[in-house]
């Protein structure tokens, strides 16, 4: 089954690549690896999750934000290689979580992104990961995700 077919099976609507908010590109390819810039929880040009997890947002909202960020990162990666079916595997995710001072569940929030990758790519979606708590993220977003993917062979 192709990745596109899997997305249809999962009922996932593929987003357009989010327009960068600074002087960078959404993704770049080096050899057989694709590196994405950090992707925020944007949909249709609107920030969907703002604030800090553990204060303004629940863990579940943080997971939803991470999932949306990962979907945007996958769209950026796909844009760099001519489509999502040209992504072979997910190598690494880095998930930044705007966190309340006493919030320590960043890995649980990051599962929103990780679980999406596994749902879409199966075993090829299993990846290395870092989950990092930060004081603030660009434009006040709650979560930011960047990924490294490998081009399909």
CA angle at 43 for the pair 58 and 24, rounded to the nearest 5°: 105
Instruction: Report the pLDDT value the prediction gives residue 22, as an integer from 0 to 100.
Output: 92
**Residue-range domains of the chain with CATH:** 3-151 (3.30.1330.40)
Question: Tell me, what DSSP letter sits at residue 17?
Answer: P
**∠ at Cα 114 (117, 140), nearest 5°?**
110
- The answer to whether residue 1 scores a pLDDT higher than 90 is no
The per-residue pLDDT for range 115-132, each reduced to its tens digit, is: 999 999 999 999 999 999
pLDDT of the residue at 61: 98
Percent of the chain with pLDDT over 90: 97
Q: What are phi and psi of 148, to 5 degrees?
A: -120, 130
């Amino acid at each position: 089954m192709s990745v596109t077919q899997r997305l249809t099976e999962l009922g996932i609507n593929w987003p357009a690549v989010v327009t960068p908010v600074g002087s960078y590109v959404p993704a770049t390819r080096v050899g057989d690896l694709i590196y994405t810039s950090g992707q925020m929880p944007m949909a249709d040009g609107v920030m969907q999750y703002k604030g800090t997890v553990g204060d303004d947002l629940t863990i579940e909202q943080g997971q939803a934000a991470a999932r949306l960020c990962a979907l945007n990162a996958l769209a950026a990666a796909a844009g760099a290689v001519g489509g999502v079916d040209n992504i072979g595997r997910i190598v690494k995710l880095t998930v930044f979580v705007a966190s309340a001072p006493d919030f320590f569940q960043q890995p649980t929030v990051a599962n929103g992104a990780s679980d999406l990758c596994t749902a879409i790519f199966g075993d090829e979606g299993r990846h290395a990961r870092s989950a990092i708590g930060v004081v603030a993220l660009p434009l006040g977003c709650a979560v930011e995700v960047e990924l490294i993917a490998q081009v399909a062979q």
